[in-house]
Structure 1
């Protein structure tokens, strides 16, 4: 498992919590809170775009 530094969980209305993380090589990670061993990884820019779109309401059905 890579050396991932996880941020505090982000929760929508007390449920659907997820966490974002990064590693020293510049990769970004996203996982469900409590299940950080099962994560998706991509570049920081790709995950930043995903989260920005979710927060803008473009993909609220994902939460």
Structure 2
């Protein structure tokens, strides 16, 4: 596993908490809090775009089960 520096968990409405992380090589990571061993990775720019789109309401359907 890469050496990931995780930020504090971000908990939105409901009970979904996520953590964002980065490594020394400029990769970005996102994981469900408490399950950091199972993460998505991409460039920091790509994950930043994903998060911005979610916050803008472009992907609300992805957040609900």
TM-score normalised by L of structure 1: 0.93
Encode CA deviations 1:7-36: one digit per residue, 9 max, x unaligned. Answer: 111111141111110000000000000000
Q: State the superposition RMSD in angstroms.
A: 0.9
Counterpart in the other structure of 2:22: 22
TM-score normalised by L of structure 2: 0.90
List alignment gaps of at least 5 residues for structure 1: none
The 4+ residue runs of structure 1 with deviation greater than 4 A are none
Instruction: Please state which structure has a larger fraction of its residues in strand.
Output: 1
Relative contact order higher in (CA < 8 Å, ≥ 6 apart): 1
List alignment gaps of at least 5 residues for structure 2: none
Paired residue secondary structure (2:17): strand
